Copies of this chain bind each other. A is one copy, B any other.
Amino acid sequence: MTKQKKIILEVVRSSNIHPTADWIYEQAKKELPDISLGTVYRNLKLLRDMGEILELNWGSTFSRYDGITENHYHFVCKKCGKIMDLHLRFNISHEAVEKAASINVESHRLEFYGACTSCDQD
């Protein structure tokens, strides 16, 4: 656990905007002015593999990161791109999928799309 990795984890955990690698890099620079973007990418990948953060890479040309690792879903505003956490449960049965396709299901991801309240006014 280098100081770079620690700062990167702190930045992701303390933000609720599901930041991009670039945003994380800018924030980390405030603490460690010499940190490089390559280090940010390397550590984000390590932290993701360690299960400390989530990488969100759906429906976009770039990844966003989430410091909340417990299972939850997301809402994405199609207009402004904002991502919101949804702590809701649905009855999504892995068994039903396994029966239908004879596969071994480990996890699932669910994402909702639409317009957020501030964008909906336009």
Q: Which residues of A contact B (CB under 8 A)?
A: 57-60, 75, 77-78, 84, 86-88, 90-94, 96-97, 100-117, 120
Contacts and interface: CB of A to CB of B under 8 A. Distances in A.
A87 to B, nearest CB: 8
Given A97-B75, A97-B86, A100-B88, A115 B110 contact: no
A103 B76 CA distance: 10
A95 B49 CA distance: 34
Nearest to A120: B104
A73 B90 CA distance: 15
Nearest to A84: B101
Interface centre among A102, A111, A120 (most CB of B within 10 A): A111
